[in-house]
Structure 1
Amino acid sequence: MRALKRGHKVVALAAAGMLLATGCGGDDDNNAGSDAQGNLTGPITEGGTVSVHGCKPERPLLPADTAEVCGGDVLDNVTAKLVRYHPETGDLENDLAESIETKDSKTFTVKLLKGVKFHDGTEVDADSFIDAWNFAAYAKNAQQNASFFSQIQGFEDVNPEDPDGDGPKDPPDPKTDKLSGLKKVNDTTFTITLTRRNSTFPIRLGYTAFSPLPESFFKDKGKSFGKKPIGAGPFKLTSFNPDREIVLEKDPNYDRARKPHIDKVIYRIYTSEDAAYADVQANQLDITNIIPTSKQLDRLYARDLGGRFATRAEGVFQSITFPPTKTDPSYSNPKLRQAISMAIDREQVIKLAFPEREPATGWVSPVVNGYKAGACGEYCTYNPERAKQLFEEAGGYNGTMTLAYNGGGNHEVWTEAVCNSIRSVLGVECIAKGSVDFASFRSAIEAKEQKGMFRTGWQMDYPSIENFLEPIYKTNASSNDGNYSNKEFDKLLNDAAAAASEEEGYALYQQAEALLAEDMPAIPLWYGAAIHGHSNKVTNVKVTVFGTYDFSSVTVIK
């Protein structure tokens, strides 16, 4: 019997724990030092408020309908899941689950901790999970993350496949609103049966979409919840003004592992990275995860912040995605997409905009097992002559290429540099176009109305090679912004998930990734290496392998 017990290590993230650069000195660090990973450390104190650079969530805060970091970072501190990920290594640990056991990697028996309550005082039980997952998977609820439940038996009955994608035919009505693969045993036990075996299935159960929901959620199908989500995590949301700030307060009844020391977290919504950085420099904002491009050159941030920073590898991938062919057919030729990729001088763009980052050679982050260097082959290598050849074979491009990006996210410099590189090599006009903020930028993409190329990024939901492929490129997947579809790719993903061993699974995932090089639905740019700045009011600031903050460690200097 294979079992997942507390602290069981599922995925080793060798590269994830490596710190690329750290700050541990300066005049204002209150005698702070650094730990083995280089994180800023100091005395442990209790209480206090921490302000954080935030951004406007794209949608109401529903766990199964949030697929971006602005809302996801908030929800991950409010909700709890069956499992969680160790903040420094990404190792899997049980949270709401007492155990997750399986004999065949197809049916899993979940036993919950007893006595855990939501922030509204109601019990977290088996129904909390079963009802939440049924709601998420049911097609008529139109949840963005529905496809994360596709491996559970009965998904095709609650979420039938659209026969022609976004074509004129409507998908058939669901046969039921309940997943047949979810069965309640008693109040603290339920089973999950998959359509086929998947030994790594528990890894995904720490993702936001798998959060349990209280009974109150279903009274209005989450309309009230979206403005004030109720979870079982370490913090509860007390104020939600998405244009200004989002306030979280420590749940005084939270008594599980990683209990926070601070009392309150305030996400201040910024549309300018320069303004947020200036506030951190002036000690008016405690933490920012975005350092302006102008401050990354020659590592000027190190001088400005006097040691109040940390940089580490993270499970983040940056790319340029091509529009759905139905929305904009001008980029439909794979040779054109490959030519554009080869026309981008990644080394030069990184030198101008993000000195700490590494050029991507594929679609999977190096921090997860299964990563294969060079998966993109020649198409991610700057080669002007080959790019011109492919461009001519594709028939060129009529008109002006556009590259859309969201304002307030430090994207102006690199998008201009990318367009300059494309223009220089291919002789076609390219214009970088910014939107007001992240929410408005994503709304056009979600509506499949965004023409031209657009910036995309991926912060891993769970530490697995599968997470960099299935949610983004599988047919009808939750974050498939370009509507990419390849039946052979889909089959390889399914076969990989059901593989008899991890090694066999990795090989199949790598074969699927190789198909992306042939089709080039998105251009890999670089892998994440986050730089985080801190005020002189906080210490013990640790950055997780996901590039987020570990608020269980942060303390306020008193």
Structure 2
Amino acid sequence: MHVNKTSRRSRATGAVAVTAAATLALAACGGGDNGGAGNGEAAEGVEGGGTVSAYNCEPQFLVPANSTEVCGSWVLGSLFTGLTQTDFDTYEPTAGVAESWDTEDNVTWTFTLGEDWTFHDGEEITAQTFVDTYNWAVDPDNAQQSANFFDNFLGYQEVVDGDAEEMEGVRAVDDYTLEIELTEPFSPLPDMLTYTAFYPMPSVAYDDIEAFEQAPVGNGRYMMDGEWEHDQQISVNRYEDWAGENPGLPERIEWMIYADVDTAYLDVQAGNLDILDAAPPNRRTTVEADFGDNAQDFDTSAFTYLGFPLYQEEFQDADVRHALSMAIDRQLIIDNIFDGAQTPAENIIPPDLIAGNENTCEFCQYDPEAAAELYEEAGGPDELTVYFNSGAGHEDWVEAVANQWRDNLGIEDITFESLEFAQYLGLHDEQEITGPYRLGWTLSYPSAQYAMEPIYSTGASSNYADYSSEEFDDLISQANAETDPDTAAELYTDAEAILLEDMPVIPMWFTNYQVVHSDRIDGESLFMDQATFTRLEQVVVTEE
């Protein structure tokens, strides 16, 4: 998932799709044991696991390498299992189809596959399955939105340029040994392989990809029951021959597709729907009265920030950026506009992602007097244009920030530019942004590398600030090349410290999600992962 266009709570509009460049983070808290998919110790469930129904919006696509938005990716996560999965207790990669993996240099990786994996139609999964899938995903003729996730695979560029039919860096050594060779060291590869784009596809997919999309044949905990009923529902049943260690708990999952999230909220309240994974903002003040113990809060790492166009001279002095940040009372905005449903950001790496991360943002502390003095000394601009994408509920909080800048820094002339998201990113691409701008980030896979490198490394596609730091780039490269995970983590946090000092963006907040559920669901079994997906496969149904 990628540059965050809207909050997940407004996804019922069907407009949650983001760019095919990247996504920020969700570090979740909740009940149960979340290792792998998690089989939480909770209330006794119904015999067989029962059926759970959940709100969803209409997916854009249901082909793994073409899904870049939450609606489709949530469903695909139940239908498919990649080479690796995420252990949500540690946010480390754990066995999927690959039982183990090894590398000596973070360039050439060897994956040993389990021998019992099959697709739902019985087709065996071998190393060649992944070779075929990955090459199909990057073939320009197939126009898959997530093809660029393979850009560090050896031979990717040759395939894209039409100079080769297959990537040199993906090889089947034998039936159950897969070798992946990269163009440079990349320690988070096992994390990245948990992402939707890397799910394997069966041979039937290549015969008619459009037909396949209507009833995907996967290798995950659940298999399709019938076809995708557009704008109505998608139903899956537990795959009893799934080869992993933690099978799904519910026997059946029904994603009910709603055009209006308020209708879904009322249906949960009435017992007609089991789970709504994000209560709408207009209901925040009544959730407790409406649901009581049937509401669960999850602090996430879905990151909102205000960036600076550093190609504009007036924002090149870091003290100007520091002052603008220190003049914002984040908690006041969160309380007044979001009813407390955000957590002020003092980090760029989601705090729960790397244990022991002690970096905090000195210049994120509200100090209007110091901010005013610093702004004057640095010669900050006396007029600003603030940019944000329209139609996603950003108007009120952006205006509140502007009012605080007027009051605390004396900037009287503040105007706003609000555009549809495609036009908005177009201005960024052409470097036509002239003032602070709103964007967000959500992790496609749980890695400190992904929280930083795609946004802040020199020349990165999502580095809309045009930030460049040789020291930062060097630390990221060192961390990517480091074979010891603890040392890599230290290097990533050192890189974050540079960002918090240089402040190419103002960290604003990490989003809080409120999941509401019916009486049929044990709330202690609910858990939300780093990509803001409620893990339905571990939900305990207590009554039918």
Q: Aligning the two structures, in what range does the TM-score lie when normalised by the shorter sequence?
A: 0.7 to 0.9
CA distance in 2, matches of 1:277, 1:321: 34
1:493 to 476, 496, 504: 476
The structural deviation recorded for 1:135 is: 3.4
The structural deviation recorded for 1:322 is: 6.2
The structural deviation recorded for 1:67 is: 3.0
TM-score normalised by L of structure 2: 0.77
In structure 2, runs of 5+ residues without a counterpart are 1-25, 32-37
The structural deviation recorded for 1:38 is: 10
Q: Which residue pairs with 2:125 in the alignment?
A: 124
Over 3 Å counting, the alpha-carbon distance change for 1:501 and 1:530 in structure 2 is: same
Q: Which residue pairs with 1:32 in the alignment?
A: none
The structural deviation recorded for 1:147 is: 4.1
SS state at 2:85 partner: strand
Letter in 2 for 1:129: F
2:516 to 528, 533, 544: 533
Query: Is 1:194 aligned with 2:215?
Result: no
CA distance in 1, matches of 2:154, 2:437: 35
Q: Which residue pairs with 1:347 in the alignment?
A: 331
Letter in 1 for 2:99: E
Q: Which residue pairs with 1:80 in the alignment?
A: 81
The structural deviation recorded for 1:308 is: 0.8
The more displaced of 278-287 and 447-456 is 447-456
Query: Is 1:359 aligned with 2:344?
Result: yes
In structure 1, runs of 5+ residues without a counterpart are 1-14, 23-35, 160-172, 436-440
Over 3 Å counting, the alpha-carbon distance change for 1:279 and 1:415 in structure 2 is: farther
CA distance in 1, matches of 2:308, 2:504: 6
Q: Which residue pairs with 1:506 in the alignment?
A: 489
The structural deviation recorded for 1:367 is: 0.7
- Post-superposition CA distance 1:196-228 (Å, at most 9, x none): 4445432322121221122233346x4444454
Query: Is 1:482 aligned with 2:473?
Result: no
Query: Is 1:229 aligned with 2:212?
Result: no
The structural deviation recorded for 1:534 is: 0.6
- Post-superposition CA distance 1:524-544 (Å, at most 9, x none): 222244321111122364213
CA distance in 2, matches of 1:96, 1:38: 22
Letter in 2 for 1:51: S
- Post-superposition CA distance 1:377-427 (Å, at most 9, x none): 4156453662685488353435x53432554xx767645544544454433
The structural deviation recorded for 1:355 is: 2.3
The more displaced of 133-142 and 302-311 is 133-142
The structural deviation recorded for 1:497 is: 0.5
- Aligned runs of 1:269-280 on 2, under 5 Å? 269-270=257-258, 272-280=260-268
SS state at 2:363 partner: helix
The structural deviation recorded for 1:466 is: 1.2
Q: Which residue pairs with 1:114 in the alignment?
A: 115
Greater helix proportion: 2
Q: Which residue pairs with 2:103 in the alignment?
A: 102
TM-score normalised by L of structure 1: 0.75
Over 3 Å counting, the alpha-carbon distance change for 1:185 and 1:76 in structure 2 is: same
Instruction: Name the count of aligned residue pairs.
Output: 499
1:306 to 266, 270, 292: 292
8 Å contact 1:277–1:290 — kept in the other structure?
Answer: no
| Identity %, equivalent residues | 30
CA distance in 1, matches of 2:284, 2:256: 22
CA distance in 2, matches of 1:249, 1:414: 42
8 Å contact 1:39–1:542 — kept in the other structure?
Answer: no
SS state at 2:383 partner: coil
The structural deviation recorded for 1:364 is: 1.0
Over 3 Å counting, the alpha-carbon distance change for 1:186 and 1:519 in structure 2 is: same
- Aligned runs of 1:135-534 on 2, under 5 Å? 135-138=136-139, 143-158=144-159, 173-219=161-207, 222-237=209-224, 238-240=226-228, 243-270=231-258, 272-297=260-285, 300-320=286-306, 340-352=324-336, 353-355=338-340, 357-369=342-354, 372-374=357-359, 376-378=361-363, 381=366, 383=368, 386=371, 390=375, 393-397=379-383, 401-404=386-389, 406-407=391-392, 414-415=397-398, 417-422=400-405, 424-425=407-408, 426-429=411-414, 443-444=422-423, 456-474=439-457, 480=462, 482=464, 484=466, 486=468, 488=470, 489-499=472-482, 501-517=484-500, 520-534=503-517
Q: Which residue pairs with 1:65 in the alignment?
A: 66
SS state at 2:441 partner: strand
Q: Which residue pairs with 2:94 in the alignment?
A: 93
Instruction: Note the aligned Cα RMSD (angstroms).
Output: 3.9
Over 3 Å counting, the alpha-carbon distance change for 1:290 and 1:63 in structure 2 is: same
- Post-superposition CA distance 1:15-57 (Å, at most 9, x none): 96755xx8xxxxxxxxxxxxx9999634343254322222344
SS state at 2:193 partner: helix
Letter in 2 for 1:378: F
CA distance in 1, matches of 2:55, 2:313: 38
Letter in 1 for 2:277: N
SS state at 2:293 partner: coil
Q: Which residue pairs with 1:167 in the alignment?
A: none
CA distance in 1, matches of 2:202, 2:425: 28
CA distance in 2, matches of 1:519, 1:242: 47
Over 3 Å counting, the alpha-carbon distance change for 1:81 and 1:406 in structure 2 is: farther
CA distance in 2, matches of 1:321, 1:39: 43
8 Å contact 1:53–1:270 — kept in the other structure?
Answer: yes
